[in-house]
Amino acid sequence: VIPLEEALAELLAACPVLPVEHLDLRSALGCVAAKDLVSAHDVPPFACSAVDGYALRAADVAHADAGRPVSLAVLGSVPAGRTASGPLTAGATWKVMTGAPVPDGADTVVMVESSSASLDHPAASAGDQVLIFAAAAAGTAVRSAGSNVAAGDVLVSEGTTLGPAHLAVLASAGIRAVEVHPKPQVGVLVTGDELVTEDRELQPGEIYESNGAMVMALLTESSFEPRWLGVARDQPDTLADTLLAAAQECDVIVTTGGVSMGDADPVKAALGRLGRLHAMQVSIRPAKPFAYGLLDGPGRPVPVLGLPGNPVSSLVSFELLARPVLRSMAGHVELHRPDVLAVTDAPLAATGTDGRTTYLRVRGRFGTDGRWHVLPVSGQDSHQLAATADANGLAELAPHSRIEAGGEVRVRSLRWDH
Ligand code: AMP
Ligand code: MG
């Protein structure tokens, strides 16, 4: 039996980061940048107007106010995407739309609301006059070239998980494709002779299969790309063939069931027959058994991560072991969800006498004191997924420990959106 940290360290060392790929920005959401991405351009590329208004010289309107407007000669109108046909001259103005280049000679833009322009008299054509009712300091409403991004700036640094705005920042600098660690394609295979996936009545001894939906969803939720491989029966030879075939098509395979000490634990047996079995007993409750092995994929090793079959154990094992490994393979720097030091509103006690760390499923919320408060969910057995479904954290209890109501407990969050 080994501590969780040791088990995780072994897995992380065994499962290599996926090779870098060149992906179109549209496919790169959630991927990790494999290098610093530097801008070759200024953004905006030219000084442009922040408002719809009149580009002018601040000096020409220095004394303007509502009672003493300044009259300027309109030279014309510049929409976004065009440029003024000539420079600004003294006592004159170019009408400019948001995003239009500020004409040479202008140092400020007064917004249209501070002018006499109206629907009846838009004051947009050469020969029009416009009254300006407000002074403006030089630079007002002018977005200078490079004021968002300067050429040479790092747009996104190595290790950044690309979010929607990162993708747009890259696009704004003219970048169309990026070097990223791709998201792992994760095959999901559940095992068990008792499992039924069809829409039919159960025969004696059968149960409806449920880990598949959960593991597929856990993968999707964490931004991996799940691929359903179906139910494997408890026959090690067939299972070994299924795993070998899947290794040709997936970056990694997650299985559930068949890794404990039973007579017919087929994932262990299958990996054993392939000569690739690493079985672990992890010092946590639930989810003590875990098995993994590296198969030969096309050009690289394909890890098989064998989660235990009890539904709550599958969930906890995914969160504490598989998820960090998958994140590491995907190039993430931060492997874990945030931990919180929470207040427990009920007594919590480690279970069992064999010295394992207990992860009690808890439901947390912010209290009026601004702190995170947790309560254990009603059923803590490893088959009681119905109770666990409402949990949003795992409260960590050292072996044999007990925490009274009001005491502090370390909670590993499962998710933050409820
Ligand atoms: P195992 O680890 O294969 O011995 O399974 C432990 C327990 O989890 C048994 O009660 C199984 O019936 C149950 N179990 C295993 N796989 C699944 C699954 N995919 N869906 C629902 N229950 C499962
Ligand atoms: Mg089984």
In this prediction, residue 262 carries a pLDDT of 73
Reading phi first (left if > 0) and then psi (alpha if -120 to 50, else beta), residue 97 is in: beta
- Beta carbons within 8 Å of 83's beta carbon, 6+ residues apart: 101, 103
In this prediction, residue 417 carries a pLDDT of 52
Are 153 and 39 in contact by the 8 Å Cβ rule? The answer is yes
Residue 418 has pLDDT above 70, yes or no: no
Ligand 1 pocket residue status of 262, Cβ below 6 Å: yes
For the stretch 222-225, contacts whose Cβ atoms lie closer than 8 Å and that sit 24 or more positions apart, written own/partner, are 222/323, 222/326, 222/327, 223/30, 223/183, 223/330, 224/183, 224/184, 224/186, 224/326, 224/330, 225/183, 225/184, 225/185, 225/186
How many of the other CB atoms lie within 10 Å of CB of 326? 27
Residue 57 has pLDDT above 70, yes or no: yes
Give CA–CA dist 138/57, Å, rounded. 7
Quickly tell me which residue has 């010289």 as its tokens. Answer: 57
Shortest-distance Cα residue to atom 5 of ligand 1:
309
Residues 364-406: tens digit of each pLDDT? 999 999 999 999 999 999 999 999 999 999 999 999 999 999 9
In this prediction, residue 415 carries a pLDDT of 80
The residue to mutate among 188, 191, 202, 211, having the most atoms of ligand 1 within 8 angstroms of its beta carbon, is 211
Nearest ligand to the CA atom of 231: 1
* Beta-ladder partners of 397: 358
Give CA–CA dist 39/58, Å, rounded. 32
Q: How confident is the model at residue 93 (pLDDT cuts 50, 70, 90)?
A: very high
Residues 25-51: tens digit of each pLDDT? 999 999 999 999 999 999 999 999 999
Shortest-distance Cα residue to atom 7 of ligand 1:
310
Ligand 1 nearest-atom number relative to CA 210: 20
CA distances from 197 to 125, 226, 278, 370, 384 (A): 72, 18, 29, 45, 20
* Beta-ladder partners of 71: 131
- Of the chain, the percentage scoring pLDDT greater than 90 comes to 98
In this prediction, residue 416 carries a pLDDT of 60
- Beta carbons within 8 Å of 124's beta carbon, 6+ residues apart: 74, 76, 77, 95, 117
Residues 281-324: tens digit of each pLDDT? 999 999 999 999 999 999 999 999 999 999 999 999 999 999 99
Strand ranges (DSSP E) for 318-403? 339-344, 348-349, 357-366, 372-376, 393-397, 402-403
Ligand 2 centroid to 250 CA: how many Å? Answer: 23
In this prediction, residue 197 carries a pLDDT of 98
Ligand 1 nearest-atom number relative to CA 310: 8
Residues 116-155: tens digit of each pLDDT? 999 999 999 999 999 999 999 999 999 999 999 999 999 9
Residue 362 has pLDDT above 90, yes or no: yes
